[in-house]
Amino acid sequence: MKKMALMLIAAFLMSSAAPSLAQMSQAQKDECLLASRNCMNQVDDIRTRMQKLDKEIRKGTRVYSPQELKKLQDKLTETQEILKTIELESGDKL
């Protein structure tokens, strides 16, 4: 009887541990950068955004799927292009 109860408790604990591991990696993701979610009261300048994107990309596949990493890389490239455009436009006016 005790053995059966211990097996049931162990099975319950193992089944409840799997979702918490998935939630942990979800919590490590920056949903604002990835999908423009949870961005309330968050305004970054371009350089800060680039640093955040780079930091998230460095987390790699332990946190993000390959598709999500590609999306972050695309956003970083787009942000770099915007910065170049701004710098060129402001350089022309000087």
Does pTM surpass 0.85? no
One-character DSSP codes across 23-68: HHHHHHS-HHHHHS-S-TT----HHHHHHHHHHHHHTGGGTS-HHH
Domain of residue 41, residue span: 2-93
Name the domain count of the chain. Answer: 1
CB contact at 8 A, 59 and 28 = yes
pLDDT tens digit string along 11-37? 555 554 444 444 445 667 777 777 666
Residue among 44, 51, 58 at smallest CA distance from 80 = 51
pLDDT tens digit string along 66-88? 999 999 999 999 999 999 998 88
Half-sphere exposure of 14 (CA within 13 A, CB side): 6
